[in-house]
Every structure is written in structure tokens, then in C-alpha cells.
Amino acid sequence: MDSVIIMEILKSKNVLFVENNEEFAQNFMTLLELFVHKIWYCKDLTCANQTFQAEKIDIIISDIKLNHENGLSFIESIRKMDAHIPIIVLSGNKNEEFLFRAIPLNLCAYLLKPIKYKDFIESLEKCACSFTKSNSILLKNGCIFDQQNHIFYLQDGTSVELHKKESAFIKLLIENGCQVVTKDRMLESIWNYEDISEGAIANFIMRLRKKVGKNLIYTIPEIGYKLGI
């Protein structure tokens, strides 16, 4: 997947960052905030648990040793609630006990301090890719449709916000693949049998093409539309 698109996906994500070394945390967050929407910072697991319960958290980055607390215990508790949220573990040593304990936790990365920039970027890319697997659809032309957040990512990484009806129509096209989506099917699925004129449908398609590109939607005269890529 294009790295530009990957980084664009991260711009809408919130990170819970758990780290008790404040100097390291400030330096790490200075870099991290260049890539994500918002960072929730916690120095202990009480704060981390409260924040995870209260806020919309998309990614977790946590150290293992937090004074007298163990970050892996926190991650194990998170996995019981959410099996898919992307998690990156930070560690100051190569303790084999920690490594073996981390294996079943489905981590995006296990980074050893000091963190290398290349490893940091690769771990973020893995996090972004996990969102495309669960919420988004990668199209043949390299575009990405995020059906949960109603966002369409163009080939150059530009994000386009879609209205619910626009998002529903693109999803309908994708679900039908090479088959034609008739106008009657559109009225049923998109407008719930509202009285919509031919002109209104044509304007809807025209506006959507301006957003996502003219090649995405192929017109079948007098019948309907199909996915054009």
C-alpha cells in the first residue's frame, strides 16, 4: 500500500501512550504528533485504564516497565476487551520472559529502546494497515474506501469526506462487483423508496464523481451503474 495513503489514515487516529519516563515521553510525542490526530498520555496504568474506558482510542503504545507496574498486564487486559486494536510495545531490555509473554498478544511491533526512526515508522505503517483490514477496502486502482468513517482516499493519499448516501452507494457498487446496480436498487438501498427524480440521481452521481474520480462509477445507459475499476 502507498506510504502516503498509510500516513493519511493515521491522521484521523487517537493514540493512548503509556510511559513513565517523562523526558523520553516528551521526545517521543514530539515525533508521534506529526503523524496522528491526538495523543492521550499516561504515566501509570490507573490513568491508562481510565483513559481507555473514557476516550475513543484507536492505537495503544505502551512501555513494559512502569515503576512497579507491568505494561504487559495492561495489554493483556485490553486484549480481553478488544482483540484487534493496534498495539505497539516499548521495552528497555531484551528480557526473554517479556518477549515470550508478548507473542500471543497480536502486537504490531515490539520496539527496543532507544527507538530507531525506521522501526518507529514501520510500526506505524503496520498499525495503519490493520485499519484497512478491518474498516477499509483497498480498490484495484490503489484507492481506499473507509466505509466506517465515510472517507475515500485517492491514489495520491488525499482524503475525501463522503456523505452517508455517497458512502452507501460506493459500498453498494463494491458489493456488486461486476454486476450492474439498477436505479431501482439505488432507490431501495440509498433513498428507501423516496420519490427521487432522474435528474436528482444524475446530479448525485455527478457530485460524487467530482469527489472520487470519474472512472470509479461506470454508467450503463437506461439501466444503472457499476464499479468502473
The domains located in the chain, with CATH, are: 3-134 (3.40.50.2300), 138-227 (1.10.10.10)
Using alpha carbons, list the distances in angstroms from residue 121 to 7, 88, 127: 10, 12, 10
Which triple of cell numbers denotes residue 78?
485490553
- Give the residue ranges of the chain where pLDDT is below 70: 1-5, 132-135
| Element (DSSP H or E) covering residue 136 | strand 136-138
Is the separation of the CB atoms in 74 and 48 below 8 Å? yes
| Cα–Cα distance measured from residue 165 to residue 174, given in angstroms and rounded to the nearest whole number | 14
pLDDT confidence of residue 13: 92
Q: Strand, helix or coil at 66?
A: strand
Which triple of cell numbers denotes residue 101?
509473554
pLDDT confidence of residue 135: 65
pLDDT confidence of residue 118: 93
As a whole-number percent, the residues of the chain with pLDDT over 90 amount to 58
Angle of the 3-10 helix axis to the 117-134 helix axis, nearest 10: 80
